[in-house]
Every structure is written in C-alpha cells, then in structure tokens.
A and B are shown apart, each in its own frame.
Chain A
Amino acid sequence: MKLLLWLYPGWWRRRYGAEALDILESRPVTPSVFWNVAIGAVDAWLNQGMPPSSAGGTNERESEGGYLVTGNRKRNKRVASVLARVGLMVLVGAVVFVEGYRTIQGHKDGAFGPINPLVVSPFVVIPIATAALGLWVLLTGRRLRDWPRWPFEGRAFRLAGAYCLVGSLLVVALAVTRNVGFAFLLYALLALALAATTQVVRIRRPGI
C-alpha cells in the first residue's frame, strides 16, 4: 500500500500520506482502488499544489532557493517534470512518425526517406518542441491552468520563453548542419545563462 503512495509528489505524501495510508490499510484493496489512487496521483502532479500554511501545514518553507525560473524549488520541479514529459512525448512521437513514414514510403530496409534526417534526430525534434513551448510562453506568459501564481511570474516566464525560443532555433540550425557537439555546448550554455539570469531576477525582486 505504501508503494502505491509513492506515485504521489513528495509534498503530497508529507501532507496527506500518513492519513491516506491509514485509510488504504483499513479497507479492502480492489482494482478500482488502485485505479483511483493512480488517477489521483496524476491529478496531484498536474493540478494540485501545496495548500497555504495553516495549523496542519508541514514545517517546510513554502519558498526556498532560486533555481530554474523563479525562486521556488517545488514549483520549479513541476516545470521541470512537465518539460521532461513533453520531451518524452515528443521523442516517442518522433519514433512513431519515423516508423509510419518508413512504412508508407516502403523503406523496409531502414533507409532514410527525404525528411527522415530531420525527424529522426532528437537534437532537432526536442529543440523544435522546446521552441514551440518557448514561443507560447513568450507570447502568453502563461502556464498550465490551475498552477499557482506568484509575483512577477509573467516576467520570469517570458524571459525563460525568450531563451527557449532563441536558443532552440540556434540549436536546430546547428543540428541541421550536423554540428551536434556545438548543439550540446549551446544547450549547456543556455541552461547556465537561464539559471544565472533568473537568479538575478530573484535577487532584484525579493519574494519571487
């Protein structure tokens, strides 16, 4: 039963885990319970968040450090987990697309079709996805529905979006010209620049 609760985010387990385990252990476990707990975990990762502090809150600080986009490690973890999921989906999509393309074109021997060199490379696929995400963030300054808002988040996210957009387009250009090593280097530099800049934003705007 305890293993089932590991599907949930850490803050959720600290907040509700003991009581939820108590309930799970006191009731018969059926497939529908498994299913409901699993769906609840997806909901917790995507839509829920640490409630405001009250008598029942954990002792953890709500806001700490400054890492990726703003100074809140928990929210940054969410951003990172969503980006990782998007990346994974794009990769799986690319593989499915390539296989579908090969089947349609009759390349059963594994030979590349005319657009495969572009599609098959994660160095192209991931940056294109990141660029699209960056463009969306840049234009809207928004994230997924129900995410909590905090001061200056629009500015921080637009900044991150600009980095993603410009950097990703550069990486695409490098990857198309087969400079994969440079693409890697640029990604690393981009990440460092993003982290450094958001630290500056955080220092200038305390409380972010």
Chain B
Amino acid sequence: MGKAQQPAEPDLGRFSDPALVVLTCLADGPKHGYAILQESESLGFPLSLGTLYGALNRLERLRLIEAEASVDRRRPYRLTDSGVGHLRSRLAALNRVVRYGSRKLEGAR
C-alpha cells in the first residue's frame, strides 16, 4: 500500500519570499501593485518593481491570486481560495520554525 500523497505545494523557487510578502499583503483584501509596494516597505521587506511584478505574475499563473478589473491605471489583486490555503500553510510552517528555533536558543543558554 502506498502512502497517501499530499497535494504538492506550488514551487515558487527564488520568488518564494517575495511571493509570501505579496500574499501576506493581500491577506486582508484586494490591493493594487502600488499599495503592495508600500505595505511591503512598512512590513520591513521592501519589494522592488521587477520583483513585485515577477511575484505577481507567478502567483497569478499558479492561481494563488487573481486580478480584478482595472481602476484607473491600477489593477487590484485578490487572494484565491487556494492562495489563502497556501498562505496558511506557509505561515504555519514558518511558525513551527520560529517556535523550534526559539526553544533551541533558550535551551542553549
């Protein structure tokens, strides 16, 4: 009997971190590129223009986000259901690393 296979997480390669920042910025509702840039700066992980649109393009092709109709020159993006799931699993994984690392640090003192 083979093991039940878990659904594969989308591979975002070296765009994994910018993608996570973009997904996090979109977690509370649709935003356009400029708003994502500003929020990423306030978050402490500033994205540059090329990186932002590279991440948006990958996320859109993986159907983790989708574009809404353009307003003026700006196009808002929103998380899809699979985008919400992906963000949740990434944040949970990061949380595990944070807790594990913190425990080890405290144990070493």
Contact = CB atoms under 8 A, between A and B. Distances in A.
Interface of A: 12, 16, 18-24, 26, 32-33, 36-41, 43-44, 47-49, 51-52, 54-57, 148
B32 interface: yes
Interface in B63-109: 63, 66-70, 73-75, 77
Nearest to A24: B49
Contacts of A19: 32-34, 73-75
Given A18-B73, A20-B53, A22-B34, A36 B66 contact: no
Contacts of B69: 55-56
A38 B51 CA distance: 11
Size category of the B interface is: 20 to 34
Given A22-B73, A23-B33, A56-B75, A33 B68 contact: no
A20 B33 contact: yes
B61 interface: yes
B77 to A, nearest CB: 8
Question: Looking at chain A's contact residues, is the secondary structure mostly helix, strand, loop, or mixed?
Answer: helix
B25 to A, nearest CB: 14
7 contacts: A16-B53, A18-B70, A36-B49, A39-B50, A44-B54, A51-B67, A52-B63
B67 A33 contact: no
Given A43-B50, A56-B69, 8 more contacts: A16-B53, A16-B56, A20-B33, A22-B74, A32-B48, A44-B57, A48-B57, A55-B69
A44 B34 CA distance: 19
Contact of B49 (A12, A33, A57): A33
Nearest to B50: A40
A90 to B, nearest CB: 28
A52 B82 CA distance: 15
A16 B50 contact: no
Contacts of B63: 52
Contact of B58 (A26, A36, A48): A48
Contacts of A37: 49-50
Nearest to B57: A48
A205 to B, nearest CB: 24
Contact of B33 (A16, A36, A39, A47): A16
A186 B69 CA distance: 50
A23 B60 contact: no
A19 B67 CA distance: 13
A36 B68 contact: no
Contacts of B32: 19
